Amino acid sequence: MELNSDFSSRVVVHSDQLKWQPSPMKGVDRRMLDRIGGEVARATTIVRYAPGSHFSAHSHTGGEEFIVLDGVFQDEHGDYPAGTYVRNPPTTSHTPGSEPGCTIFVKLWQFDMEDRNQFRKNMADELPAPVNGLAIVTLHSDAREVVTYSHLDPGVSLESDASGGIELLVIDGTITNGEDVLHKNGWLRLPEGEKLSATAGAEGAKIWMKSGHLPYAKAPAV
């Protein structure tokens, strides 16, 4: 399966307008944003766990990173409330689920295969004091990518000319990019060479962003 797999094109997905699709596990549904592959895939997805649902135990051969958007994600390593950012690199494993239910934004098979940097962070706790209405923190940085989290006051813009492509998810609020207005859970991917200018709406915005990673995009080696 290929979905939004042309990384030389700009892509906007208003994910809350997509229908939920069932996964192989009962009670776990998903909205696919981009994908190369079948059930084992290089994928960016919003996943919803119904209360009491669980996924089977598995290893992260190609790595996994996710943000808890609402509810509480759980595994044998602990509870992960909304606002948690997690990186589970290649060779890690767990048995995920959620007794209260949750929704996560997850990226699979997009790690450097030598990466072993595993961590979890409460994104809001990492933020510094705002400057001119913008608070921004780097959550992760390596030779392949930079991951940030930002709070924008109303009318404030987030600008970037980072090389290697840019991708963002609106965690809360709204932003305008060109002719598009992205609301909560809206997803934007810009190709290599395209600059980002995103302006927060009347309620401000909270944005997760990754840059530099698109040159490494490829199907998983399975």
* Dihedral sign (CA 54, 39, 216, 48): negative
Q: Say which residues have a Cβ less than 8 Å from residue 46's Cβ, sequence separation at least 6.
A: 15, 30, 31, 33, 69, 103, 104, 105, 106, 185
* Percent of the chain's residues with pLDDT above 70: 99
pLDDT value at residue 38: 85
Q: Look at phi and psi of residue 44 and say left if phi exceeds 0, alpha if psi is from -120 to 50, else beta.
A: beta
Which tokens in the block code for residue 93?
């494993």
pLDDT digits (tens, 9 = 90+) for 153-177: 999 999 999 999 999 999 999 999 9
Report residue 221's pLDDT band, with 50, 70 and 90 as the boundaries.
low
Give the pLDDT confidence score for residue 214 in this predicted structure: 96
Q: Chain centroid to CA 21: how far?
A: 18
Q: Which residues make beta-bridge pairs with 92?
A: none
112 pLDDT more than 80: yes
How far apart, in Å, are the Cα atoms of 37 and each of 40, 41, 109, 158, 188? 6, 4, 10, 33, 21
pLDDT bin (cut points 50, 70, 90) of residue 222 is low
Alpha carbon distance 106, 46 (integer Å): 6
Amino acid (one-letter) located at 145: E
For residue 127, what pLDDT is reported? Answer: 98
pLDDT at position 173: 98
For residue 117, give both structure tokens: 């940097």
C-alpha to C-alpha distance for 106 and 160, rounded to whole angstroms = 23
Query: How sure is the predictor about 39, in pLDDT bands with cuts at 50, 70 and 90?
Result: confident
User: Percent of the chain scored above 90 by pLDDT?
Assistant: 89
- Mean per-residue pLDDT for 136-156? 97
Condensed to tens digits (0 to 9), the pLDDT of residues 72-91 reads 999 998 999 999 999 999 99
Does the structure show a pLDDT above 80 at 109?
yes
3-state DSSP assignment of residue 16: helix
pLDDT exceeds 90 at position 121: yes
